[in-house]
Amino acid sequence: MDSDDLRYSCQIALPGFGEDGQQLIKQAKVLIVGAGGLGCPAAQYLVAAGVGTIGIADFDVVSTSNLHRQILYTSADVGKKKVSIAAEKLSQQNPTVQIIAYDVRITSDNVMDTISGYDIVLDGTDNFETRYLLNDACVLTGKPIVYGAIYQYEGQAALWNVNNADGTFSPNYRDLYPKVNAALVPNCADGGVIPTLAGIIGCIQANEVIKYIVRSGDLLVGKVLVFDALALQSRVIKIGNVTQTNIKDIQPTQLTSLMTIAEVKVGLAENKLELVDIRTDQERDVIDIGGFHFEADEFEEYETYLNSPAVKVLYCSSGKRSAEAVKAIKQKWPSAKVFSMEGGLKAWFEFEKHAN
């Protein structure tokens, strides 16, 4: 028995899998977008299974607050590029798998080129703009995409845009959520997440990829799995067999106006900008760094203030809610001088820690 046969012997022995299934896995090309809480476990198990080519796209760096759920990284990796660390460690895990690293932010300008060489896409992102962008790109190119999302104690997973036997396509993300005001929805960094949930949903995503490649089992097509980590219960919600959406093109990516912590510090010292806290009242009661305050979903009540000449820098816990709020404000009032503080309060306090 050669080393490959030995490595994969337990899955080859599965009923309905065999050598043919392993050959399909070896020939498969899977793109993982997001090397975070979902992308890490999904990548590890797909690499372990022997998927021939795995692409990983991520532009972020490892931060201390990632470590409890992003299990590819250690304290020594803080500040380094996630995609570089992930590619290195995954290559060590299984040297026979080709790992392709994309150190890029997925945008409307590069999404089609990035997904073009892959058979299936795994969405491990944590923001709505990229999630819709990947969904729409996969619909337009006829590629399946595995969805996963986690928040606090609940996770979701589904397999979108699968070609049905009659030539139609199964539902996609827009069939479930046609449009969401992302500024109103907290992310993991703001609302919290139990770390094991990331592993559970990430593994379910990897499982769907393997089932799709090997053409076995009951896929999460036309339905959504909802998992409750507290109750340890799951339910599958049927949403239909055929998509009801009509996606015709890719919407241009709206680049958020960002300011780094260093830029904010300088601007404050020179009285050239003012801070705006867009977190909830409860969050502000725990800790804040000053500035004007209103909650993200209240911005339309402050039209006069937001359109005044002063430069305003919005902040939240992680920078994600404030980025979405800035997009919403700029969409309504394009000339508003609003920016998002990159990395939020977590980055602010890390900056101060290293500066002292």
pLDDT tens for 155-190 read: 999 999 999 999 999 999 999 988 755 444 555 655
Amino acid letter, residue 259:
M
Structure tokens at 48: 């372990």
Q: Are 219 and 212 spatial neighbours (Cβ–Cβ below 8 Å)? A: yes
- By C-alpha distance, which of 26, 47, 37, 32 is closest to 101? 32
pTM: 0.78
Query: Phi/psi of residue 224, each to 5°?
Result: -125, 130
Does residue 203 have a pLDDT over 60? Answer: yes
Mean pLDDT of the chain: 91
**CB-facing half-sphere around the CA of 21: CA atoms within 13 A:** 20
Q: Distance between CA atoms of 167 and 26, rounded to whole angstroms?
A: 27
The CATH fold assigned to 3-238 is Rossmann fold (3.40.50)
pLDDT at 184: 44
pLDDT at 90: 98
Catalytic (active-site) positions = 188, 316
Q: Map residue 320 onto helix, strand or coil.
A: helix
Residue scoring higher pLDDT (256 or 104)? 104
CATH of domain 258-355: 3.40.250.10
pLDDT tens for 102-122 read: 999 899 999 999 999 999 999
Close Cβ partners of 353 (under 8 Å, ≥ 6 residues apart): none
322: left (phi over 0), alpha (psi -120 to 50) or beta: alpha
- What is the C-alpha R_g of the chain? 22
- Return the domain boundaries, the chain: 3-238, 258-355
